[in-house]
A = this chain, B = another copy of it.
Amino acid sequence: MLRTHTCGELRIADVNKEVTLCGWVQRIRDKGGMIWIDLRDRYGVTQLIFNEQGTSPEILEKIRKMGREFVIKSSGKVIERFSKNDKIPTGDIEIEVSQIEALNSSKVPPFIIEDETDGGDDLRMKYRYLDLRRSIVRKNLELRHKMMQETRRYLDGQQFIEVETPVLIKSTPEGARDFVVPSRMNKGEFYALPQSPQTFKQLLMVSGFDRYFQIVKCFRDEDLRADRQPEFTQIDCEMSFVEREDILQMFEGLIRHLFKSVKGIELETVDRMSYEDAMKYYGSDKPDTRFEMRFTELNDVAQGKGFNVFDSAELVVGIVAKGYAEYSRKQVDALTEFVKKPQIGAKGLVYVKYNADGSLKSSVDKFYSQDDLKTWADKMEAKPGDLMLVLSGEKNHTRNALNELRLKLGTDLGLRDKKAYKALWILDFPLLEWDEESQRYHAMHHPFTSASPEQLALLDSEPGKVKANAYDMVINGVEVGGGSIRIHDRGIQQKMFKALGFNEDEARKQFGFLMDAFEYGAPPHGGIAYGFDRLCSLFGGSESIRDYIAFPKNNSGRDVMIDSPSAISKGQLDELGLALKG
């Protein structure tokens, strides 16, 4: 090694050692008689010191040619610092330098390489290799590394086998759009990149692998929203001879292990909630349960009093902001503006202040008496000093809007502590969703999800009512994973494809191999997949998965650093038997 130590490891006990360090110049301070250099590497920062008196002119000349981000190799003696820096682990010592050498120079970087940088997003992405030098960014990827290792440690300890499934697979029209890869050897034909290894992991269960996992790249050619990437990583798992409870236990175990080993946190019990309750009490299938503020439905007490807005609404539903009766008119107006934003789309917001003196003041006093409002308060378990907020309208739409309001209030009132973690399972999802546009059912999870055992019979008669044997894990309002007990019976799988409007030919063409496999002794099985990028960002306390991906793409699917995608040569196109259109 060109160095004897890293820039993060020298301590007071190392005083008098002759050492050699390598790293980047973080800062040079030249105060005439003395020069200090902060030398940085992945492991930390160590201070180099030069006394003009004791340093040869050649060395001084070298130093004075150096600038930020030069790569340096420097030897000298560890000495105790006169004024110690207790903010860094190496702060008790510095290096009295006898030799120094620039291993490489650096132009002035386009932005400041510190936690607080002056570089905008575009610039930092173009020079991602410099952005990654910032310790705040590097720590995200170190966290990711640790999450990967600990995930494997847990699953390996539970007898899961890591199996790599193919990346060049087959395009299927079901679900999101595939990325495709033209085949040169089979002209006119294409591979697809996997949206998930779903069918392969099921085949591995048919093969008797019993417990499979993989931390695996998946691909979706979707128009990108803020928090989506065309390639993303999943922790993908599958188990045989299990029922739902076994999966829930095993993967509570995984999350518990990750919190403990990566963050030193003992996670509380993972609660369970039905999809129906989640929608009813939180208006979301991924409720943030770090705080209560559950919905109360008010149709029975709020309708029939002549207030047409409520009377004509499918749902009247409210939440209580505990202790916020003192909110000013202006503050309440701001909440009203919030829910009326187009992306939330409520028509208005009704408020009821439950004053400290027990009186009630609302925006609908014209229609409701104090007694009426007291009934609401009782139903909502509001106390004097609380603020009640009520929305109304079409059921799903109103629930969505109130969910947004609840989350905003949770944030405003400081109820969403980034250091608190609350995990829960959402259970009993509907198996199928009716799609108005295509006038057919879609699988809410995917076509391989089984119905709850007792509800299979309903699949023919009332498919919309069937509950899936599926589960999502939600942490702090973020869906981090989901899965299901799968269908393992060919007949039932066929029925499912039929319910989804596949004709037999299509089903055969796309999933024939899986249907065939089910005829050769497929065991009962189920599994789960975690969105690994999101899980990392949750652990890191960030909202953006991009911060946890070394080389992310932008919202147009471009890597602006390497300038990709890009044109390819005519020769390449010819070999693939392809032509560009228009």
Contact = CB atoms under 8 A, between A and B. Distances in A.
Interface string A168-195: 1111010001111111111011111100
A109 B516 CA distance: 11
A557 interface: yes
B572 A166 contact: no
Contacts of A171: 566, 568, 572
Interface stretch (A198-206, A379-387, A421-429): A198-206
Nearest to A72: B521
A180 B130 contact: no
A521 B105 contact: yes
A418 to B, nearest CB: 24
Contacts of A184: 177, 221
A189 B29 CA distance: 48
A106 B520 contact: yes
A162 interface: yes
B577 A70 contact: no
A358 B208 CA distance: 63
A132 interface: yes
B564 A170 contact: yes
Contacts of A558: 186
Interface size, A (range): 35 or more
Interface stretch (A240-248, A320-328, A404-412, A457-465): A240-248
A274 interface: no
Interface string A120-155: 000000011110110000100110110011001000
A113 B148 CA distance: 35
A226 B512 CA distance: 28
A259 interface: no
Given A41-B210, A71-B522, A189 B106 contact: no
Given A2-B242, A105-B521, A568 B163 contact: no
Copies in the complex: 2
Nearest to A516: B127
A165 interface: yes
A163 B6 CA distance: 21
Contacts of A577: 580-582
A539 interface: no
A562 interface: yes
Contacts of A149: 152, 156, 162
Interface in A539-566: 549-551, 553, 556-559, 561-566
Contacts of A166: 231, 551, 553, 559
B219 A69 contact: no
Contacts of A169: 559, 562, 564
A107 interface: yes
A52 interface: no
Interface in A244-280: 246
Contacts of A230: 168
A167 B231 contact: yes
Contact of A183 (B141, B549, B565): B565
Interface in A87-114: 103-107, 109
B565 A191 contact: yes
Which 4 A-B residue pairs are closest in the complex by CB-CB distance? Answer: A132-B207, A106-B521, A170-B564, A189-B565
Given A2-B243, A217-B217, A578-B578, 13 more contacts: A1-B246, A2-B241, A69-B521, A73-B241, A106-B520, A141-B163, A145-B163, A164-B217, A180-B181, A189-B565, A190-B565, A578-B579, A579-B581
